Amino acid sequence: MVLGVFSRYADFLREEPLTVLISLGVSVILAVAYFVSGMLFSLGRPLPDHLSSIISFGFINNVLVMVLSSEFFSPIETTVAAMYTIPFFALIVPLRLYQNWAKRQGAP
């Protein structure tokens, strides 16, 4: 899927390799902001509801965003959507650590 979308942007990415790193940085910042928003939104809720809110805020459908942005926007938006895959999977580990920490703290 990703290769099909990016085959159109091969020339752009070869000419602008820094765009990939910038897009990765933006996607990491967005992922952290989404997860923190989910945490703040669900303060005081039972732990399963709290974790569900964090997941709902943080795990966006980046494949859909990637396809739509490749159709209607520039390569930059599509690159950010593709780079969101990295924090998308990387934030599963901190989420699990947070869950274990919250259980030890006696979260409701």
pLDDT at 95 over 80: yes
Domain contains 93: yes
| Degrees to nearest 5, angle at CA 35 with 25 and 102 | 130
- pLDDT at residue 1, rounded to an integer: 58
pLDDT at 4 over 80: no
Domain contains 12: no
Total domains, the chain? 1
How confident is the model over 34-91, as pLDDT tens digits? 888 988 988 888 888 888 888 888 877 777 887 788 788 888 888 888 888 888 888 8
Domain contains 59: yes
At residue 29 the predicted structure's pLDDT band, cuts being 50, 70 and 90, is: very high
Q: 3-class DSSP state for residue 97?
A: helix
Predicted TM-score (pTM) of the model is 0.75
- pLDDT at residue 3, rounded to an integer: 65
Provide the greatest CA pair distance for the chain.
53
Range of the domain at 30: 2-7+17-104
Domain contains 68: yes
Interval 3-24 mean pLDDT:
80
- pLDDT at residue 8, rounded to an integer: 76
How far is CA 107 from each of CA 3, 13, 69, 102, rounded to the nearest angstrom?
43, 46, 40, 5
